Structure formats: structure tokens, C-alpha cells
A and B are shown apart, each in its own frame.
Chain A
Amino acid sequence: MSRVKLSLSVLVLALVLSLSSAVLAADVHVTVLNSKGEIQAQLEEIAAYYSSITEGVTVEIAAVPVGQSPFERATALYASGNAPTLLMVDAGDVLLFQDRALALNGEKWVADAIENSLGMATADDGRILAFPVTVEGYGFIYNRAVVEKALGRAFDPKTVNSIDALRQLFDDIEASGQASIVIGPEDWSLGAHFFALAYATQSPDFAEIKKFQEGLKKGEIKLADNAQVNGLLDTFDLMKEYNYDKIDPLASTYDRGTELIGTGEVAVWFQGNWTWPQIKDFTDNREFGFLPVPISSNPADYGNTQVPVGVTKYFIMDAEQNSPEQQQAAKDFLNWLGYDPEGQKRMVIDASIIPAFKNITIVPEDPLAASLLEYVREGKTLNFVLNLPPDHWAQVGASMQKYLADFVDRAGLLGEIEAYWLGK
């Protein structure tokens, strides 16, 4: 039976392949692998609309199945000879595809991309390998209504620009009986986001951050001697001191965090703008925003007034398994997204993407995105460090959890992180 099935499926496969190649001859097909599952429907609409306004080009959106990493999916498609024309991949994975991606240096959007957005997409030989799709960022999310009610006055987020100011804020909030902050114990949040600030605050220059990481790999850097690292952990100590879940710091879940901040049970939560769809289910209040995570007592220090913002998803264009016509059509599609008012609107408003291009002036509607954009406009951004090894979030996240639950002291934590980096 299984042999019959096998031969049958081979037959069907052959038929499908021959049919699809016949279709290809008539029409240029651009297939796009989407790895942001939450906007699959919107992207499909965009693709349908674009196909309807362009003669002879059809854009199709394929999804990365929920639960599979975009990298794994892309790998499987490449291995089977079915590489899509455009692949949406995580920032940290772009360079893994450098053997297979088309260089896009000649494209118009390269000049319009926001600062720092192409660093992760540039190979050592200078080839620009990917189109930045969406910007994300994180920091302390605050619930303005709750903060102002607790303080009894209007709240200016700009006043929180040092560790001391943050302590003052927490003190004032708690004085009214309102819980100030909850720490989400998720390893990805602590490892990939919170501790990544230690790298990001080293320098505005991404090359310097890379150098810092290289130093860690060679074991040349002592984290305990680093001011930014210590400052960041001072802030973490402060968070621990006021933590809503102090008795059982590792028991909470991500979902519960969205609920606590949404309902106003706590005033502040460390997370990113991707939490908005969940937060908004708990409240009709629309006034939320980001505070920076301070790393010293001096407001002028880099990092105290900046939040990390970065391009987390990129489009790679396949260089091997798609025809030049397909590649050209894909380039046209990207330009339409970036420059056509209709394309811009559909991307920013319909798909709630924060674009990575200076020329796009449409503002997204959710308050966390708006808050991030304000930081971008004022130039108050840190690098969202995304070039970390694939298990960094899990390993460093685990070490941070230990520190959070007081199972290791600061020296122990830093020792573990140094050991993690060594020889990577």
C-alpha cells in the first residue's frame, strides 16, 4: 500500500510541477514567504491587490507555519528546490543566506532606509542582501492613566532619564498604594531583550558592538568591569526590589503580564510593541508609551534617554532558483510598498507595520508604535541587537532567571554569561 501511495504521490507531484511551470511561462509569479503569522491575512490582501493592478505579475504569500522558525522553513524550501522569490527572515538569520541571496545595492530604497537598518543586512563584502520589513522596539511600557492617577499629576516620560529618576518614579507610584512594576520571567525577554541592552549601550556604532561581542568570544572582556553592564544590572536590582511578583518571581507568564499592565494592576512592564494586540484586549485606554531602561545616574549617558529600535524582519531575494523576470517583479513589488502611497498605506495602516524608511510619513495607529516612532524621529534610539547566537536568548535568559530568583549573585551571573560567549 505504501509503495502505491509513494508512487502515486510522486506522480501527482510531477503533474503539479509540470502544471505550475506551464503557468509560470504565461505569467510572472512572485512567491513571498511570510514569517509574521499575525499579518498573513493583510499580506494576502496586499498581494491580491498588487496582482490586480499589475499586468502579468502575480504575487503569492506563503506562510511559515506557526511554531516553525522562518529559518527552518526557508532551509527546507531551498533544499527542495522551491525557494520563494522573497523570504521574510529574522534579522539574525540574514547573513546565513549570503550564498543564496541577491545583492540589492542598486535599489532606490537603500538610500531611504533609516539609520542602522541595513547593518544586519550587509555582508562583509559590502553586498546589501535584504529589504528591511518592519521596525520593532522595547523598553518599559507604562500605562499613563495609572501612572498619573498614582502620582496625582501629569506625567512627563522625559523626566525618567536615570536610575535615580526611575527609583523616584517607582517610589511615588508605590506611595499611593499602586503596584509599580512587574518583571516578566520569560527567558527570551530577559535574554534577548533585557540583557541585549548591555551590548546596545556600549556604543551607537554597530561596529563597536560587534567588536564588544568579539571581545567576549575571545574572553578578553570582563563584564564586571563594564560600566554599562553594571548600570543595567543596577536597574534590574531596582526592578527586583519593586517587583509585583517578588515572592515567586519565576512563576508568572507572558499572558499574565499583558493582563496586569492592561488592567492597570501594575503601572510599568518591561516588554516590546508586539504586546499591543494583547494589551488592548484588557482595556479601552489607549494611552501607553515607552520609557528607556536607564543604565546610570547621568542623564547624558548613552542609553538613558534612548530605547532600542531595530528592524526585526527582512526580505531576502533568492538569487538561484528564481528567474531574472521573477526577481525584477519582486524588486518592483518592494518599490511599490516603499514608494507608492497606496502601498505605503496598506503596509503601515492595514498591516500595522512600522516601516523602516525615512520617506514614509504615514503614522501607525497603535500607541506603542507611535511612542517608538517618536523616539526614532528624535533620534533617541539604541541598536536593537539582533546578531546574537541562536541560543543566546535561552542560555543568557536562563542565567538572568537565576539572578532574578537570587540563585546566583552578580559575579556569578556575569561569569556564566562570559562562559557562554567564550569560543562562540
Chain B
Amino acid sequence: MKALRRAYAILRHAVLYALFVLYLSPFFLVLLNSFKSRREIVSNPFALPPAWSLNNFITAFQRMGFVPAFLNSLLITTCSVIGIAVFSSMTAYLFVRTDWRINKVMFFAMVASMLIPFQAIMIPLVRIYGSLSMLNTPWSLIYMYLGFGSSFAVFLYHGFIKSIPKELEEAAMIDGCSRLQVFFRVVFPLLRSTTLSLIILNVLWIWNDFLLPSLVLISADRRTLPLTTFYFHGTYSSDYGLLMASLMLTILPVIAFYIALQKHIIRGVMEGAIKA
């Protein structure tokens, strides 16, 4: 009985670790081949590179325009994420704490709008903003992310703010704080963990998003990292070493972000998924 259980435990470990290797193998293959030339990759994608040269990385880094793309992604993600968190928490606060019909209507409309998939409005969105000449700037894209991100964020904050007692705010009010001051000094700090989860979810969404930026950002120098990588692959479709290096360059910042914030990320994902 004991031997059987032991054998079973070994089997379980073997299966799980084999799966683990299988799950991560695509990334290792990309990493391995990013050091090789096209010819070496074609002749055997599993062989170790003859030399660990960074040439592919350097060439890919320059040719794909990694730095501007990274900065575009960073600017767009940061501004959108902060904007969503600040504006949505304020809105949710108002919706929870004041009793006005408009608030209820708006809240309902926002929650209902979460049913609309992006694809259902992308065509008119592009038509409208295109005709206003408001495409091809990061600011329009950030503006749109505020629109697409705020419903869920307001919903998430709304649930949490409801559970905060009013007394703290009333005390601050008596001390002569304005409404905005009350919000930012008293309420917003209490929302810290919700804000963090929300920021993580939004970073993963916006940093990796493709369809919306592909419709909004037109010039090559405005593109975000996923767009740049995608078009780079279209241009150099058979220089595999270069392609693999470009993929690694795109993946690395995300992995670094994950390692730094691992616990929060997993928690954020759980909260987000369950609330949604």
C-alpha cells in the first residue's frame, strides 16, 4: 500500500514536471534559436548555437525600432492605467455616496456596456475618430482606453467603496477638507489593494493589446511593441534568428514585470476573474 502510494506520488511528479517543461518549451526554443543564424536554425532547431552571439539581438533591436516602440507602449500603458484608476475610483465614489437618478442611470449603462464586445464597435469607432482626424496619436488611443477600461473599473471600485464606513469621511469633512481632498486623502488610500489589482489587470490588457492599436496607430514610429513585432515578422519573414531575437526582446519586459509582482498578479487575476 505504502509502495503503491509512493509510486503514485512519483508518477504524479513526473507527469506534472513533464507538463511544466512542455508548457515552457516554446519559450526555451525561441531563446535557444535567437542565438543562431537562419541556416543553423533550419538544419536543427534543437542544436545548441555554435557561439552565444548577441548579434541577432542587436540587429533586431535596431531594425525593429525597439526603443521607440517600447516607449510608446510605456507611455500608452502608464497614462491609460493611471487615468482609468483615478477617474473610475472618483466616479465610483460619487455613485456610491450620492443619491441622484443620473448616477443610477449611468452606473447601469456602464455595467450593461460591459456586454458589448470590442468588435461590435470597432468599425464605427474607427470611422468616427478617423473622420475627426483623431487617429494616429497615442493620446487618442489613451482616450479610448479610458473609455473601454472605465466600466469595469467603476464596477470594481463600486463594490469595494460600498463596504467602507462613512464615518472617516465625515470626520475629515468636519476638519474642513473639500470633497476632493476627502476623496484623495481618506478614501483613495483605502482603495489601495483594489487599485493595485486593477492596475495589474489593465497593464496586462493594454500592454498586450493588438486590435485597437492596430486600428488607431498608423505610422510606423507610433506603433506599440506588439504591433512593431508583428510588422517586423511580416517584413523579415524568413530570417528566423532575427525573428526569435525580436520575440525574446518583447517577452523579456513582461517576464521581468511578472517576477517583480508575481503575488499581486495572481491575486489580481483571481479578483478580476471572479468579479467579472
Contact = CB atoms under 8 A, between A and B. Distances in A.
Interface of A: 1-2, 5-6, 9, 65-68, 72-73, 75-77, 79-80, 82, 253-256, 259
A157 to B, nearest CB: 28
A68 B132 contact: no
B218 A68 contact: yes
Interface string B227-241: 000010000111100
A79 to B, nearest CB: 4
A1 B87 CA distance: 9
A130 B246 CA distance: 42
Interface in B118-144: 130-133, 135-136, 139, 142-143
Given A1-B83, A65-B219, A76 B135 contact: yes
Given A9-B139, A75-B130, A255 B236 contact: yes
Nearest to B130: A76
A80 B133 CA distance: 6
Contacts of B236: 255
Contacts of B218: 65, 67-68, 73
Contacts of A79: 130-133
B10 interface: no
**Across the A-B interface, the 4 shortest Cβ-Cβ residue pairs:** A80-B133, A79-B131, A255-B238, A65-B218
Given A65-B220, A67-B231, A256 B133 contact: no
Nearest to A78: B131
Interface in B218-269: 218-220, 231, 236-239
12 contacts: A65-B218, A65-B220, A67-B220, A68-B218, A76-B131, A76-B133, A79-B130, A79-B133, A80-B132, A254-B237, A255-B238, A259-B238
A79 B131 CA distance: 5
A168 to B, nearest CB: 32
A157 B142 CA distance: 58
B146 interface: yes
A66 B220 CA distance: 6
B76 to A, nearest CB: 14
Contacts of B136: 65
Nearest to A257: B238
B267 to A, nearest CB: 29
Nearest to A68: B218
B130 A253 contact: no
Contacts of A254: 237
Given A255-B239, A256-B237, 7 more contacts: A67-B218, A68-B218, A75-B130, A79-B130, A79-B133, A80-B131, A253-B238
Contacts of B239: 255
Contacts of A80: 131-133
Contact of A82 (B87, B133, B139, B146): B133
B83 A66 contact: no
Nearest to B82: A1
A76 B215 CA distance: 13
B238 A5 contact: no
A133 B231 CA distance: 27
A72 B238 CA distance: 29
Contacts of B83: 1-2
A66 B239 CA distance: 20
Interface in B45-101: 83, 87
Contacts of A72: 130
Contacts of A75: 130
Given A65-B219, A67-B220, A253-B237, A2 B143 contact: yes
A2 B144 CA distance: 11
Residue with the highest number of chain A CB atoms closer than 10 Å, among B87, B136, B143, B218? B218
Contacts of B135: 76
A334 to B, nearest CB: 27
A235 B131 CA distance: 47
A256 B130 contact: no
Given A66-B231, A253-B238, A2 B146 contact: yes
Nearest to A6: B143
Residue with the highest number of chain A CB atoms closer than 10 Å, among B220, B238, B239? B238
A280 B108 CA distance: 62
A185 to B, nearest CB: 12
A171 B83 CA distance: 68
Contacts of A256: 237-238
A165 to B, nearest CB: 32
Given A66-B220, A256-B238, A5 B139 contact: yes
Contacts of B132: 79-80
Contacts of A1: 83
B71 to A, nearest CB: 18
A77 B87 CA distance: 33
Nearest to B221: A65
Contacts of B143: 2, 6
B139 to A, nearest CB: 6
Contacts of B231: 66-67
Nearest to A256: B238
B96 to A, nearest CB: 22
A5 B134 CA distance: 13
Nearest to B238: A255
Contacts of B238: 253, 255-256, 259
A76 B130 CA distance: 6
A82 B133 CA distance: 9
Nearest to A81: B133
B182 to A, nearest CB: 20
B105 to A, nearest CB: 21
Contacts of B87: 2
Nearest to A252: B238
Nearest to B234: A67
Nearest to B236: A255
A76 B139 CA distance: 18
B237 A255 contact: yes
Residue with the highest number of chain B CB atoms closer than 10 Å, among A2, A73, A76, A259? A76
Nearest to A1: B83
Contacts of A253: 237-238
